[in-house]
Homo-oligomer: A and B are copies of this chain.
Amino acid sequence: MSVSMNSIVANGAKDVEILPAKDDVHGGVVVNVVEAMDPALFHTLLVASMSHWKKQGKKGVWIKLPIAVTNLVEPAVKEGFKYHHAEPDYIMLVHWIPETPSTIPANASHRVGVGAIVFNDKKEVLVVQEKSGVFKGTGIWKIPTGVVDEGEDIFTAAIREVKEETGIDTEFLEILAFREAHKVFFKKSDLFFICMLRPLSSQIQKQELEIEDAQWMPFEKYAAQPVAQVHDLFKLIVDLCSAKMESNYAGFLSIPFSSAANAPASHLYSNLRDLGLSGSDDHPQKAV
């Protein structure tokens, strides 16, 4: 028997071996399998464990299985477990024990993207032509865009994408708008944030893999592209640029924010100027 197994006395009757598990803060338990195990043994232990946890009044039971022990998925499903989510190297299964409605939280539901508007002092906008995607080979110049990584801040992603695609260093100014779309990828939804950034350098060095070409383009020329007359997102970006240059369009600035003492660093995005928080510096969020 593996030394990682727990031996416990259940009901004072006889030794019953159950799976090692940690309590979570919601009245449930988490089983984190880290080494290979015979599927039949795993199933036997799981049956005994479920009986034990049920008697203990446990609620949600989570089982995390690395992809190396994919042969343990089937016995867990056999015991009524459902998939909760999966990442490339593991799958998380969950089973709700009580008769009451499940309060198991939903899986991640959204992907988040960014588009970066970067103007220089000559009212030129930083644009690229991509080697793939819907605009490939069309000759259309677009602003740098990309996907926000898991755990990454929106403003950090905008700065990163601009740097990766064009080599330009920037600082984040504000979010001008965002688009909400659905079923963009499988059944997931998508939030696309249009950000404004200020360049901190001017020499373009384009990325070879994804970017066909990059340049500083006079805004009038960017706005005059035929696509900007027919494509809603292009039109919007042109409108937002114009509003920023011609009037005092107020988007959402970003400041560090935390909602709990021990929570990881978080950020607030809001119209800080209208909250009286802008002061003399319109862009408190520097590149990090």
Contact = CB atoms under 8 A, between A and B. Distances in A.
A85 B82 contact: no
A50 interface: no
A86 B83 CA distance: 6
A259 B271 contact: no
As for how many copies of this chain the complex holds, the number is 2
A233 B261 CA distance: 12
A181 B112 contact: no
A219 interface: no
Contacts of A251: 270-271
A34 interface: no
Interface stretch (A8-16, A196-204, A242-250): A242-250
Interface in A71-122: 71, 73-74, 77, 82-92, 101, 103, 105-112
A230 to B, nearest CB: 10
Contact of A270 (B151, B178, B187): B178
A123 to B, nearest CB: 19
Interface stretch (A41-49, A142-150, A158-166): A142-150
B110 A269 contact: no
Contact of A274 (B87, B249, B275): B249
Contacts of A269: 177-180
